[in-house]
Structure 1
């Protein structure tokens, strides 16, 4: 009888909940034993929501091989391979300390792939996406495009950009500038404009404060070449957006027809004109 009672008491020491019942031992002592179901090693059938954890201000550590491997803190942080919050991560709800070994985090959801970047949508749902390579255009050699005074002309060049912020570098060489008067204050303006259409000049909405165009002004030497350089920063909000480059000329230029010059097909031709976009973030 004593062995049976001792076995019963030892079993009840494993119980988690606080419901008890008073039993009387053979020697007349009254003892309280836990009679509520316990968390079993191979799992429970609870039939209702149950909780596992602490009821006071103490963290909940989890150990394997007698070593702590994970901890849920009273602040709601989940710490893996560390028993305290890492430096600079006091607000992070998940922290992993893998020492100096890389590859501490692995997410496999079907969108993963070599060189992909983890990004999120507006709701914070993360997926792996391929990085957007810098879109670029190099002006082909041996091509000239006549410019029109005070009127935009499509250059035949365009950029297709993915969502994000981009910086665009544009350079072109122009020729056949002839000033209207013979004085040192003659100037020429090459206006680069970005359109959402290749057939009609419609200022693109991705440029801030209607800054769809950029003017580069230079003093005109008689019948000389002029190099024009531009830098644009744009923010693309659509998944993909295509913009088309248009040009017009302004200034006191009333004779001859300036043109975009891209060389005569020699080895230096492509250096005269380029259109390059690089993603910032």
Structure 2
């Protein structure tokens, strides 16, 4: 909610701001925040051409009123430039007072009924206000969806070659029943052409889901992540979302670096499990068509919250 300050008596500070705007010593963006929405200041800025309103109306998705404005000021070379700003208001009253009643031009109020008490006080031209249904006039019919010959050939090549190769590697990974087999397949994959456009972690997660009921296969991938795959943090944390976190924590024993680094890696997983336990984790699943493999995939994105003051995004990969 933004308050519009209306006053009959102009304070000394407001007068100082107005004089600064008129002399060019003060710009719209530098007006003190507590006076930025003073009605007297707004009127002068508009009169001087320093603030110009564009699209305005009701945002049916956000359920707020908005005004798009150009703010004009001089750059370091002394040239007059503009920057677009968007003002939002929770209530029609705030919006109306901000625009000083200028609510008809370049406006769209689609799905707003004007039934609030404030709007009922005015003899509004409802037909005029509801005439515009959208600022967007283009439709899908205005665009061509024809693909170029290069795009067609690229798609067909991925469909016939990439997809087939990925399927073959999926079968090789999922057929591994021992640590030695899995390690050998990973080594061979890193030397293949497919690895140039698809990370091996893609196959880790397919292996996880293909065999998640097999204790033997869980042991295999955890042994590999502990001994051979240096950047497997995300995969280990992803396993915590599929299996019982404590089981993963007990079995994961990173030992590929110094004692301090090994300890740090295991602590990071322990902290993640603790966040899961304390519900400091938000998970979102996104679905998409992978252009490299031509498979439809799901990826779980994990957001970790820290002291309720921020969050860190951790992409758990295609799972």
Into which bin does the TM-score normalised by the smaller protein fall?
Answer: under 0.3
More contact order relative to length (CA 8 Å, sep ≥ 6) = 1
Of Structure 1 and Structure 2, which has the larger fraction of its residues in helix? 2
| TM-score between the two structures when normalised by the length of structure 1 | 0.25
- Which has the higher Rg, Structure 1 or Structure 2? 1
